[in-house]
Amino acid sequence: MSAAEDFRLGAVIITMGNRPAELNALIDSVLNQEGPAVELAVVGNGAPLPPLPAGVRSVELPENLGIPGGRNVGIDLFGKDGEDVDAVLFLDDDGLLPRLDSARLLREAFTADPQLGIVSFRIADPDTGVTARRHVPRLRASDPMHSSRVTTFLGGASAVRSRVFTQAGQLPGEFFYAHEETDLAWRALDAGWSIDYRADVVLHHPTTSPARHASYFHNVARNRVWLARRNLPAPLVPLYLGTWLLLTLARRPSGAAIKAWTGGFRAGWSEPCGPRRPMKWRTVWRLTRLGRPPII
């Protein structure tokens, strides 16, 4: 057996129990991957789970812990920090792996590059095949078919080496939703890991707007403040938040959205955000060389 085939993959799916058909289709697409079996863990995030195939690890949480909190529970279904596997996939429960070679491509990518910590997949609409600009995790996103090194990743279409969790920690559960991927990405980069966007590893997912979530504008603003407070050197905090304030206003949000955003911004300063571990200045320079300095 080759080194790539020895590389163990586990997949975490969190569900609110409202997409049973999509969940079953996703599970099938994971279990049908070529090569060694991908271990599977399903978390009912404050919801009961449907019957699952034999061998699937699962837990039903009594309350919704949010996206990062639910995924953290899923990580630990593979042992502490996912130690039972070499990398953990995060998959949205209404997604689907349309290709049978995705697991093989991931195994090969991780074994070929020992410093590769995170892989972000390309998300494509199942009907149109289009990849939305916001689903390409870099500023220059005009060509979604171009793979590259990046500075963040897509939470519901990604794979993270388990050693990243050991060294950089898991997702920030207190974020509940929004920017939790960037928080982990910055900590992983600061620990010396790399992140790749891979256009050939595809997740089918319907095109939706993140603003469909009632708490979107509040959480986006609050969590940006938390992201800065937790991770940035002090001189960069006002630059980062000032840039995003201007960008938000330039997008001309509605009055209700501005009200929610302002409330979230205040909460970001008044509510605890977890431990502060500012990144090294060499990490700031690394992010800048990768095309996304941590002021935007």
Query: Would you give the distance in Å from CA 47 to the centre of its chain?
Result: 21
215 versus 278: which is more confidently predicted?
A: 278
Please say if the pLDDT value at position 189 is more than 60.
yes
Classify 84 as helix, strand or coil.
Answer: coil
Looking at residue 38, the DSSP 8-state letter turns out to be: P
The mean pLDDT of 243-272, rounded to a whole number, is 93
pLDDT, one tens digit per residue, over 109-148 is 999 999 999 999 999 999 999 999 999 999 888 899 999 9
Q: Is the pLDDT of residue 214 over 60?
A: no
Q: Is a pLDDT exceeding 70 seen at residue 1? A: no
End-to-end Cα, the chain, rounded Å: 44
Tokens 């074994």 sit on residue: 111
DSSP states of 120-186 as a string?
A: EEEEE-TTT-PPPGGGS-SS--S-TT--EE-S---TTEEEEEHHHHHHH----GGG-SSSHHHHHHH
pLDDT at 253: 86
Distance CA 15, CA 28 (A): 15
Distances in Å between the alpha carbon of 138 and those of 150, 152, 196, 237? Answer: 6, 8, 11, 20
**pLDDT averaged over every residue in the chain:** 95
Entry pTM = 0.96
Predicted pLDDT at 50: 94
**Torsion angle of alpha carbons 182, 187, 188, 192, nearest 10°?**
130
Query: Residue 194 pairs with which residues in a beta bridge?
Result: 116
C-alpha span between 232 and 230 (Å, rounded) = 6
Cβ atoms of residues 75 and 12 within 8 Å: yes
CA neighbor of 85 nearest in space, from 61, 52, 60, 107? 107
- The tens digit of pLDDT for each residue in 30-43 reads 999 999 999 999 99
Query: Do residues 119 and 43 touch, judged by C-beta distance below 8 A?
Result: no
CB 179 within 8 A of CB 210: no
